[in-house]
Chain A
């Protein structure tokens, strides 16, 4: 278990909202047997055994057969054997020496070791293997049992067994109940059996995969980890153990203390002070991940961060807290999951979290600080933590909290453009695009691009090509801690509209197209929209002289449970058209039966963005009129 997340913000180079649909109907693999057991010897050590057999039907099922065995300073692979049998072929042994071993770590350094094996054989092939891992120096949790990890894969028979000394209390989380027996005079056996699991199919807007599975999580209530013992009976007690790891590590060196005081002395408010220190942290330090032993959970001392100028999320957060405490501002160490919005509340465990942030409390307010990435605007709750459950660590223990989230209508992307259309289809455009909150996150990388890349970004996803682009600029604001980026440019295009002898065909909104790639067939999973957002485009179209509008559009507005969509086309002047297109998708979860309704809503929205306006030469129009 390690907590070392850093947060990166990516640029999405397209305004299309695409999603990869990876849906299939056939089964790719069948796990015939998946057995795992953990025998706990004492608080320090135990043995984990796995037996696994599967038939792989095609290359999409290959992942099921890939072997990944994770080791670190707390666990060591001690036995391995296996066989691989291709279709109509001879059985081949897989020995421990056939596994590739790597210490590769994505961060700077860790004690992680991975054993891997990627089988290659003609389909369908069978793979069987078993292995044993010895646990030493502490057990924080028993290995989780996840019966399926890939879509379109079924399980025939699975079981998970825990053999625990009688004097050890364990807690577990599963939708299944174990059979508990006294396996020997001093051991208790907990056995979970899973018969047949049908394949799961991934569909776009599906809830997290593991929600469909009878996963089993278990842990010793009282535990010892690298000789530090604690209890996970409650979040409160777990928090005490984590507090123990960080206390005494937050001492700021004297000269740094006085520097912090001096820097903030003239600030007018607490918020301003926090901002000064947050900026200082960003300038002075950087994220480096080194995870060794208990260091996966315990931060480097603040002194070390001050000296080296680097640290991981734990160390940088603790550094920030100690700076804030120095000037008398309350601040807390917050342990959080960057992946899962909801923690399993009834199962207090460290293993559910992977990241640390800071809660700063200037007076009555609360400001959340992400300390691993200084490009995240001050006080902004980014999408990997917004609305997530978390554990606040105080000397009194842990407190279960939930961060607030932004309303969907704040996550906006809106284009505001003025188009001067010529009768040959070319146009001059003054373009501006503004993105807020979670949409800001997708676009904020724009500021890092060079001129060519900026121009490519603006050109992408448009239904016309750019001949010339000038005055590209952007501004980033963060008023009321709601970040926004506005990009603007002057564009010349030769093909804004398609002309024919008497008519001009103009797309009402060639700047945005909605494409969710939704399947039309029956829906299996519920519809799950994690992040809602809103688009609102305003286009002012100057019609060339001598032309008038042939097609007329009535305003359209539709509100459903899933969101809103509509457009409004009006004309205040004979050669001026105002086009407003909007779309809002609400975060939420809906039953699979409502899929048809959802599909209809999306299709309607898509059409709104693809509307075509026909202009006709005025004399002609009169003639036919």
Chain B
């Protein structure tokens, strides 16, 4: 205790010599809290953070016991500083754990201390977690969680806790996230792996972390005979140590399919197990092994359904239509019988189960389509991929949990390629829902390596044509025809179908565009088709003021400023698909008026990503004509190009603000 008297002096000296935050301000020992930590009012890494993880460490190692076999143990330690009200919830700890049949996880040695600096005495108060405030909650049969709440947690508190998870799932080493929603001052992960296990290490994210490794010998005891005698077995262990400091928090932004993939993290994936005197049990070495593994795990059955609806598809087979048309009809046949349940899956259910519920995941439907197409002699492959919402597959890192669904590819005798997915309600052959449009999907085949890019399968476009007139009352009366194709038709159709009926769709359009719709027609809605045509006859009130009429030649603003209102951005922008847009307007001005002022022709380019917008206006006699083109040539805009891209976007948006001025002829 005596030594404490000297601490304040040391602190003053430190402040004198160093400005800013120094590593020594923070404790890197569990059980020790520094004055700086107790006194800090905000986190220099993020001044708005309501709490900061001062220190976090995970220590993973293996134990062996002759009755339970290998177990993976993880010791976790964490120290958190509470900075504002919203951080108080970190005084509650939730630790999930698993149970699956005989395999279990156990949480032990859960302990926690709350440190508070008494304002008057300057003394450090310590409060410990009490057993009566530790609870177990069964979330489901296999998932449980331990919950605990700590005493005396206030703004300013430093919370420290530790626990040990012992797991029978020895092949599973937890992924370590250096980054979180809170800033992290120091994070360490140490993993010690016996020579019997080989793991793949996968790294993620933009923040830097250090790693080192070293090997040493260890031993464990096994019983010899049944006399209670034990013998020591030596083995080599390798320790991997990772550490990172001062990691800023993750914050969500729009136009991102999956924020999770940008978290800085390290993942361990089991590759093989070789026990003494046994064969190597391999889990994943290369993509072909991954393929083989998937087939064994259940995907082989997806290619071996016995094809239903034989009578119907035999009729289709006999018809005098092209292969492509036949395939479209077969897809339609299956979708008419089995409704998509809106779920994506990797493994299909059994044909019997699918037939009895008449509904299924995309791969349930795909498996049935596959069986019929194969029976008809088509060359069908399964294309495995990861949904965009779950992040991207990294080709350099073969991994067992890379995929979460599959679609079908048919190669026709004329070498044409067709992609099909049962989960696309508004698509067609080759027109897949945006969530599947990944740039790296694999042809499932353990015999060879083939990757395909699904992000650019089709030319997507929207073509809008407006013809009409302005009357002297101040109304635009016109017909608007919107033709969308491929992915664009998918998007517009799915939006259209999200309304309960046409009148709601119309009403929404009336509301958004401030127009009055007189009549409409929609075509190519129900069948598998790559097109969607909307015809709308409408009336729009425009601004008449004295002798002047002011009007905006754009009925709809296709791009919005609000999409990119942030001045800066940390992560890439991810668009759904590339597309081209054309907007044509031909409008007659009322008699007795002349064009007073017209906007200028203008073009904006963003060549790096093959994007442009181009506005051309002309008038002849009493008709004003506009042609506007927009091209989105790329679907991934890198953060370093954000500012320039945003400028391009703002310029493009300014085109939609153009005003034409008409004046009464005197």
Contact = CB atoms under 8 A, between A and B. Distances in A.
A286 B91 contact: yes
A495 B86 CA distance: 37
B151 A517 contact: no
Contacts of B566: 452, 455-456, 459
Contact of B138 (A26, A102, A285, A614): A102
Given A101-B140, A450-B48, A460-B562, A108 B135 contact: yes
B567 A92 contact: no
B504 A505 contact: no
A108 B139 contact: no
Given A122-B339, A459-B566, A500-B659, A448 B139 contact: no
B659 A505 contact: yes
Contact of A520 (B49, B358, B510, B561): B510
A469 B341 contact: no
Interface in B317-347: 338-339, 341-343
Contacts of B304: none
Contact of A612 (B341, B543, B562, B599): B543
Interface string B64-94: 0000000000000000000011101101100
Contacts of A374: 85
B358 A494 contact: no
A566 to B, nearest CB: 19
A26 B510 contact: no
Contacts of B50: 448
B597 A502 contact: yes
A600 interface: no
A267 B86 CA distance: 29
Contacts, number: 186
B650 A309 contact: no
B197 interface: no
Given A24-B504, A455-B567, A503-B597, A286 B139 contact: no
Given A495-B650, A498-B657, A86 B359 contact: yes
A375 interface: yes
B358 A498 contact: no
Contact of B504 (A25, A92, A375, A500): A25
Nearest to B144: A103
Contacts of A88: 358
Contacts of B139: 102-104
A550 B355 contact: no
A59 B597 contact: no
B137 A307 contact: no
Interface in B590-630: 597-600
Interface string A198-242: 000000000000000000000000000000000000000000000
B135 A122 contact: no
Contacts of B49: 450
B550 A612 contact: yes
A87 interface: yes
Contacts of B138: 101-103
A520 B510 CA distance: 9
Contact of A614 (B342, B550, B653, B654): B550
Residues of A contacting B: mostly: loop
Interface stretch (B152-160, B262-270, B292-300, B581-589): B152-160
A465 interface: yes
Contact of A519 (B89, B507, B543): B507
Range for the number of chain A residues in contact with chain B: 35 or more
Given A101-B141, A448-B84, A495-B650, A465 B565 contact: yes
A308 B130 CA distance: 9
Nearest to B545: A551
Interface string A255-282: 0000000000000000000000000001
A13 B12 CA distance: 43
Contacts of B597: 500-503
A90 interface: yes
Contacts of B600: 500-501
B169 interface: no
Interface residues of B, number: 70
A308 B133 contact: yes
A497 B315 CA distance: 64
A456 B46 contact: no
A86 B657 contact: no
Contact of A108 (B92, B545, B562): B92
Nearest to B663: A624
Nearest to B145: A104
Interface string B100-128: 00000000000000000000000000000
A449 B567 contact: no
B511 interface: yes
A62 to B, nearest CB: 10
B550 A505 contact: yes
Contact of A87 (B92, B137, B358, B659): B358
A517 B500 contact: no
B401 interface: no
Contact of B500 (A25, A89, A90): A25
Interface string A17-60: 00000011110000000000000000000000000000000011
Given A88-B358, A520-B510, A469 B567 contact: yes
A505 B658 CA distance: 9
Given A103-B138, A495-B654, A498-B654, A286 B48 contact: no
Residue among A374, A456, A465, A502 with the most chain B CB within 10 A? A465
Contacts of B84: 448
A88 B545 CA distance: 63
A373 B138 CA distance: 29
Interface in A478-536: 494-495, 498, 500-503, 505, 517-521
Contacts of B598: 500
A464 interface: yes
B155 to A, nearest CB: 7
A121 interface: yes
Nearest to A468: B567
B32 interface: no
A65 to B, nearest CB: 13
Contacts of B155: 283
A86 B358 contact: yes
Nearest to B361: A120
Given A309-B151, A374-B85, A498-B657, A121 B140 contact: no
Contacts of B500: 23-26, 60
B548 interface: yes
Given A288-B149, A308-B152, A498-B659, A105 B550 contact: no
B501 interface: yes
Contact of A89 (B88, B358, B564): B358
A451 B359 contact: no
Interface in B554-570: 561-562, 564-568
Contacts of B546: 551-552
A121 B504 CA distance: 27
B358 A309 contact: no
Given A24-B504, A122-B338, A122-B358, 20 more contacts: A86-B357, A87-B358, A286-B91, A290-B149, A308-B130, A308-B133, A375-B85, A448-B50, A449-B48, A450-B48, A455-B566, A460-B565, A495-B561, A495-B657, A500-B659, A519-B511, A551-B545, A612-B550, A614-B548, A614-B550
28 contacts: A23-B500, A59-B342, A86-B357, A89-B358, A102-B139, A103-B137, A108-B147, A282-B85, A288-B92, A310-B149, A450-B46, A452-B568, A455-B566, A459-B565, A459-B566, A459-B567, A465-B561, A465-B564, A466-B565, A467-B567, A469-B567, A498-B659, A500-B661, A501-B600, A503-B659, A505-B659, A612-B543, A614-B548
Please list the 8 inter-chain residue pairs (A to B) with the smallest Cβ-Cβ separation, ordered nearest first. Answer: A450-B48, A122-B358, A24-B500, A122-B359, A122-B339, A498-B657, A286-B88, A459-B565
Interface of B: 46-50, 84-86, 88-89, 91-92, 130, 133, 135, 137-141, 147, 149, 151-155, 251, 338-339, 341-343, 355-359, 500-501, 503-504, 507, 510-511, 543, 545-546, 548, 550, 561-562, 564-568, 597-600, 646, 650, 653-654, 657-659, 661, 663
